[in-house]
Structure 1
C-alpha cells in the first residue's frame, strides 16, 4: 500500500489575498481566509471583499470564475446563486455562494478567483495546499468509531452544536477546536449511515466524513470507503448467498499468486493441466485458469496491475488478516487477457466475452479505457447480445474522458464501446465514477449509457509488486475502471442468492434502488427480496416498490401505444426482449419458439442449456432449446404427429391461450355449457381455454368474436400474459 494515499486527507485550503487591478482596489483582512474541501459543495463559502469606493451590492455581482496562474480561464465559472453580506465595516462585504457548486477535481494548485461586477473586476489570489494527517491514521476520510478526526472549515469556534449524522458530538468527544478546525472522536455508537459532519451555525457547511465500521479483520478494510458509501455493509445483513459465482475479468490479467487472490482463481476442472490437449473440447488447449486472447495462448502472466485491482475489489479474500476485503463471497475469478502495456484489442475483448459465456461465467466485468478499444464499434453488438441471451450480465466502465484529453463527456452524444453497445436497457450495465464526496469528477464520462454510479476516486485494492512504485501488494487509484467492479461485486452477491434472476430484472433493481443514479446495494437487495421468494420463483404481479414506468423503452412502442404498459412490465421483469436495433416489432406474429421463451420467462425461470436440449428432432442446441425442452418436460406442449416441434411455425390465438394457461397452471372448467364467443363452439377442443381466458379478463377481445384461428402478435400475447400475471 502506498502510505501517502492512505494517510492523506484531500482537504484543500484556499488562502485569498487581494491586490489592486486596474483602478479598483480590493484588500483582504483575516476574515478573508477561506477553508473548504476540494470537490465539496461550495454553498456558504465566503470571500471577503473590501472596497474604498463603494460597498458591493448583490445586484453588482455578475460572475465568479477560477483562473490559472497566467490569468487563463479554467472553464469553471458560476453566474447565479450569489449572496452579499455585511462583513464588519462600512465598505467591507463578503460574497457567498447560495447554491451547491463544487470545485473541479483538476483545478490548478495556484491561480486567481476573478469576481466580475458591474463596476469593476476583482482578482483574488488562491493557493491549494494538501495537509498530511498522521494522527490515528485517517483512512481517506473513512472514520472508525472511537477514532480521532480533524475537520477544517470556517466558524468552527462559533458553532452552536456539532453533529455526525443524527449523533450529537458532545464535550467528552471534542479533543480541541479553534476558529478554523476541530478535532473530535467519532462516537462509539456512530452508524455508517451517519456520514455527514454538521456544524450548526449560519455560515458553515455539512462535511461528509464517512464512518466505517470494522467489520472484517483485513487491515485496509476501513480504507475501503465505498463499502460504506454504497451501503454494502448493510447489504450483508439482508441475506447471504450460497451459490458459487464465476466472474470473468476481461482486462490485462490477474496476479495469480497474490496473497488476497490466489484462493479465488477459477479452475477449469474439465481440462487436464499440461497435457497439450483440448480435454473439454472448447477450442482452447490447457485453459486451466483462463486464456490470453491477445496472444492466443494459455500464458496468464500479468501485463499490468489494472486487472488485479479490478479483481481485488470484486472478490479479495475476507477475514484473512491481509490487505482488503472483497465485496463478494463465493466467487471465482476468471482471468481473460485482452490488454498489455501497449493497449487493448477490440476483437480480443469480443472473443473473451464469448469465451466467458461458454465456459460458465455468471458475470463479466469489462473495465477498459483506451481509445483503440473503446471507440464505438458494432463488433461488440453480437457478443453482448450473446451474453444477454444466456443471461450473463456484462458490466462496463463508462470511461474517464480517455479520448477527450482526460475531460469527461456525455456518452449520449459521443458513444463509446462497450458501455454503449446496448440494444435495450439491460444489455450492458454501464457504471460511471463518483468522487469521494459524491460529486461527478471532471474526468468522468456520464450520460444515457450510464445506468448507475459508484465510487471511483482513491479506491483501495490489490496490485502487482512489479508494477507498484514501492513494490507493494496494495494501492489506490482513480477511475471508472474501479467503479465498475464495485457494481460487479454487488451483482455477484445478488446472483449468488438468486442465480436465475434475469439481466433485465438486475438492471431494474439496480437502477430503481439508486439515489440520483448512485448504486445503493442494500436497497437493491431489499427490492429483490420483496419480489423473489426463491431462486426459481418469480412473484408475478407485484412490482411493489418499483412502479412500471410508462415511457417508450422500444423505439416502435410509443408511450401512447395501447399495449405499452404490458410491454414495459414484461421487459422490466426480464420476460421479453427487443431486437438488436432497439425495436420490439409489436405487430409481428409470434412463432412457437418465441412464445415459449416468453411463457417460461413469465415464470421467472431461465433453464440451463446444458440440461435442456435435443428434445425434438428439430430442437437441438438452438437459442430456444432450453425453453422448448423445459416446456415439454413440464407438459405444456407436445410435438406434431411426425415427432417434430416446428419452432418457426407461427401460432394462432387459441394455441397461444392453451400454452399460456397451462404454463401458469390455471384450473380449467370441466366442461363448457355456454359458448364464450359466437365463433367458439362448446364442443371445440379450445372452448375451455377461451372460456377461462374470458372469465379472467386477460383477452383484448371484448365483443362477440374471438377469431380463434387468427395468428397471435407479439403485442397481443404480451397483453394476455401481463393481465394474467397481474390478476
Structure 2
C-alpha cells in the first residue's frame, strides 16, 4: 500500500559514513533524518499561499470568503484502504451508514449481496471474523506463480509465446531474489545496530552511575577508553537525530513484515478469506469488519478528507458535508487486483461519488479486472483519486499500479486524478523527497509531508506520503461536488487541474531517496505543473455552475 507495500516514509536514513567497532559490532554514523523530523507549520495543508504565505490549498480561506452562508449537499467519499477507526472522536459523525441495512441481524437486508455492511465492507476478511493483516508483495506472488511453471524448464523447448513469458519470469525472479536478500540484510543490519545502541546505553549509564541519561551528561565524559568514546559518539548521534526506541521498533517492525510476509513465498493470506482467488468474477466474500487489525493508515487518510470541522476538537478535514464509506482491501503488503476491482464496484454501487485510493504496487497481473472496474466507475460518473507512490521514481518510465491507462491501450480513464506529494519548505523542500512524479503520468501535486491527521484511538499524528496528498485532492473534489452538485465528476477533475496554482519555472529539488541536491523545474513533475488549490477551484466551480444554469 502507500503505505503501499506498506510504503511509508521511514523516519531516519542510515548511511555508513563512519564506523565504530566494539562488542563485535559495526556501528554506522547516522545522517539526515528527513522531512518527518522537521517542524511544519500547524495545519499547513489547509492554509493559503496568498493569505497565510503557506503553500497549502486554501481551505480555511475558502470557507471564510467563498462558502459562508452557502448551502451544500451530502457527498459520499469511499476510502479504499487498510480500514478506519469508525469510533474516532473526529470521524464518528462523518462515517457513512447504509440505511438499507439493519446492523447485526446477520441478514442482507438491502439485497446487495453483503451481509450487515452497515458502514462499508472488508474484502480481506474471512467469514468467521478473521482478518488479513500482513500479506505478500505482488512481486512475490508473481515469482511463486511463474516459478512453478518455469523453474526447471528448458528454454529451448518453449513456444514463441512461452519464451516471452519466460523472459518476464527471469526478470521477476531476479528482482525478487535481489529484493528478498536486501530486506534480510536490512533486517540483520537494524537488529545489529539496535543491539549496539543498547550496549552503548548500558555501558554509559554504568560509567556515569545513572539510570536517567540526558544529552548534557554525555558532554561531561572524558575518557580514553575506546569503548567509552565510541559509545558516547553513538549515543550523541542517536540523540541528535531523535532515534528513539520507538523509531527503532517501527523500522524493525517494517523490515520484519518484509522478511516474514512480504517476500515469503510460502505465505498465503487467502486461506483466511476462503475465496476462490483464481475466480476473478467472484464478488461476494469477506466480512463487515471495516476497521481491521491496523487502521492507522486508513484513519489518517479519512481525517484529511472529512475530520469533523464543527466539533472544536482535533483537526479540520477538507470537506464539511461528506460521509466516509469504509472499504477495507489494502493489507500490510500489496493489495490484490481482485480485491481492488471489487472495492471500486462496491463503492460505485452503494453511492460513492469520489473514491480515494492511497495504495499502489509495481506489478498487476490481473490489471484487466481493475480496468473494467475503473471503466464501470467512469460510466457511473464517479471520480477516482490515486496516490502516485513513494519511490521517488518517474512514472513516465516506471509503473505504480493501478494506473489510469488501460492494459494494451493508449486510452486513459477520464475520471482519474494521479497525485504527487507537496512539501511546505523552500525550493530544497518543495516536494516530498519520496514522491513519484511524471510529466505525463502525474496530474497534480498536493500537500503530503508532515500532514497531521487522525489515527486510531481518537489520537492524532503527522505522517508523510502521497497517501496523504491523494485525500487532500479527494476532499477538494468532494467539497466542490457538495456545493456545486450540478457539476460532473469529469468537470470537477478539470476544475481542480485548471485552477491549480502554478510556479512557472521554479527550480526545486528533484525527488530522490538518496538526498541528492538535483534541481528540476517544478512544472516538469506533473502534467499541470500545478498545486491543488481549494479556493481557486471553488471560484472556477461557481463560474462554471452559473454557465450551466444559463444553458
CA, structure 1 residues 273+533, in 2 after alignment: closer, same or farther (shift >3 Å)?
A: same
Report the count of equivalent residues.
327
1:340 partner SS:
coil
- Measure how far apart 1:275 and its partner are: 2.2
Matched with 2:192 is none
Distance 2:35 2:331 in 1: 34
CA, structure 1 residues 131+269, in 2 after alignment: closer, same or farther (shift >3 Å)?
A: closer
- Normalised to the residue count of structure 1, the TM-score between the two structures is 0.42
Distance 2:36 2:383 in 1: 42
Cα contact 2:359–2:387 (8 A) shared by 1: yes
Matched with 2:72 is 242
Matched with 2:542 is 529
**1:428 is the counterpart of 2:416:** yes
Aligned counterparts, 1:382-531, within 5 A: 382-401=372-391, 408-421=392-405, 423-424=411-412, 426-437=414-425, 439-447=430-438, 448-465=440-457, 473-514=459-500, 515=502, 516-531=529-544
Matched with 2:332 is 341
Matched with 1:224 is none
Matched with 2:312 is 321
- Measure how far apart 1:68 and its partner are: 7.6
- Measure how far apart 1:354 and its partner are: 0.4
- Measure how far apart 1:131 and its partner are: 13
CA, structure 1 residues 450+129, in 2 after alignment: closer, same or farther (shift >3 Å)?
A: closer
RMSD: 3.0
Q: Deviations over 1:42-83 (max 9, x none)?
A: xxxxxxxxxxxxxxxxxxxxxxxxx98379xxxxxxxxxxxx
Q: Deviations over 1:261-304 (max 9, x none)?
A: 11111111111222222111111111111111112111223332
CA, structure 1 residues 191+265, in 2 after alignment: closer, same or farther (shift >3 Å)?
A: closer
Cα contact 1:397–1:419 (8 A) shared by 2: no
2:93 partner SS:
helix
Distance 1:238 1:260 in 2: 24
Structure number with higher helix proportion = 2
Cα contact 1:378–1:421 (8 A) shared by 2: no
Distance 1:301 1:416 in 2: 26
Aligned counterparts, 1:130-529, within 5 A: 140-142=40-42, 193=50, 210=54, 229-236=56-63, 237-239=65-67, 240-295=70-125, 296-304=286-294, 305-371=296-362, 377-401=367-391, 408-421=392-405, 423-424=411-412, 426-437=414-425, 439-447=430-438, 448-465=440-457, 473-514=459-500, 515=502, 516-529=529-542
CA, structure 1 residues 286+372, in 2 after alignment: closer, same or farther (shift >3 Å)?
A: farther
Specify every segment of 5 or more residues in structure 2 that has no aligned partner in the other structure, as ranges: 1-14, 20-28, 126-285, 503-528
Distance 2:372 2:455 in 1: 33
Distance 1:238 1:508 in 2: 20
- Measure how far apart 1:142 and its partner are: 4.3
- Measure how far apart 1:254 and its partner are: 0.7
CA, structure 1 residues 195+272, in 2 after alignment: closer, same or farther (shift >3 Å)?
A: closer
Cα contact 1:409–1:445 (8 A) shared by 2: yes
Distance 1:356 1:284 in 2: 12
- Give runs of ≥4 in structure 1 deviating > 6 Å: 127-133
Higher relative contact order structure (alpha carbons within 8 Å, sequence separation ≥ 6): 2
Structure number with higher strand proportion = 1
Specify every segment of 5 or more residues in structure 1 that has no aligned partner in the other structure, as ranges: 1-66, 72-107, 111-126, 134-138, 145-189, 197-209, 211-227, 402-407, 466-471, 541-727
Cα contact 2:374–2:413 (8 A) shared by 1: no
CA, structure 1 residues 539+484, in 2 after alignment: closer, same or farther (shift >3 Å)?
A: farther
417-426 vs 287-296, which moves further: 417-426
Larger CA Rg, structure 1 vs 2 = 1
